[in-house]
Amino acid sequence: MATACKYGSHRVVEPAGVLPQPATKLNNDFSVVHDNEILVDVIALNIDSASFTQIEEEAGHDVERIQARILEIVGQRGKMQNPVTGSGGMFIGKIAKVGSALQGRGLKPGDRIASLVSLSLTPLRIDRILAIHPELDRVDIEGQAILFESGVYARLPEDMDEKLALAALDVAGAPAQAARMVKPGDSVLILGANGKSGMLVAYEAMKRVGPTGRVVGNVRKEADAKMLLEMGLVHEATRSDATNVLDFLGKVLEANHGREYDVVINCVNVPNTEMASILPAREGGLVYFFSMATSFTKAALGAEGVGKDVTMIVGNGYARDHAEITLWELRENPRLRKFFEERYV
């Protein structure tokens, strides 16, 4: 059998000439598996938080309607890509077949892996939804998916529950990018510091800023602010609605003794928080939008409109060694691991 495109363009049904992520429909017929494809029996999907939140709200928080919407999206697109947010998520599963051109990767049928590429570009077929866990953004299924030659994945670790690994690896890009961005002495602001990505970013930032830096996390609820402080994940926790920009700005600047921040990291799962990320950053500072609810048009034009010269980074979900960095955080911090186990497993 001829080797197909390493980036998966051969699975694109429409429109012609694009790669799988921007495609509106992929071929999810797996009766033929190409030499450079990996077929996986999928166990669970971890849907991107912004995507799941949008679907849940559209469905009126009704589980049957959520299920129907997910099946509709995959049925129409051949992949799990929310047409509103454009985002996907990731999966865990067991290897079913490895194409002959990829035999050197050391994978074999039965190996358990987590995909580290977005569901928005992954050919997926759902045969049956077994359970939906709205509080976890997780969907247990019977089905199959394809990983392309260019796709990245991680073997599930033997020292932790697979659902714990799924929860952490779903946001692995965020703490790995934070490890690159944050320097000793930096002041760091994290929007949505109580979520999976926010907590992992906060822990990484606290390690990186050292004794002369400062980490502030913003949340909506008092209980979350208390939790972050008790776990030592931030120096201070503020409570504000990031869509109410001026109120938010006053509170987070006060928490940093009136000074703007060197690094701002957005981990929220709702839209219209672009300016709440840009305004607290100092001139020449860094703004990292990990949130898939971000409108980069609003961010770019908004920064221009207020005269803010900041470096804005798109939330790339991949960074070299991001899986290892993220899983190591859970091994390194027993309290954080225990929290994740209690909330996400």
Tens digits of residue pLDDT in 74-92: 999 999 999 999 999 999 9
pLDDT of residue 267: 95
Q: Is the pLDDT of residue 293 over 90?
A: no
Do residue 23 and residue 58 come from a single domain? yes
Residue 293 included in any domain: yes
- End residue of a domain, out of 96, 130, 156: 156
CATH of the domain at 214: 3.90.180.10
What Rg, from alpha-carbon coordinates, does the chain have? 20
* Strands 112-115 vs 153-155: parallel, antiparallel or unpaired: antiparallel
Over the stretch 125-142, which tens digit does the pLDDT of each residue have? Answer: 999 999 999 999 999 999
What pLDDT is recorded for position 319?
85
Domains in the chain, number = 2
pLDDT computed for residue 87 by the predictor = 92
Q: Is 28 exposed, middle or buried (0-12, 13-18, 19+ CB in 10 A)?
A: buried
Q: Is residue 164 part of a domain?
A: no
Q: Is residue 166 part of a domain?
A: no
Domain boundary among 96, 127, 156: 156
Residue with tokens 């929860």: 167
300-311 pLDDT per residue, tens: 999 999 999 999
| Domain extent at residue 101 | 9-156
Among residues of the chain, what percentage have pLDDT more than 90? 90
pLDDT score for 2: 57
**Cβ-contact 206, 215 below 8 angstroms:** yes
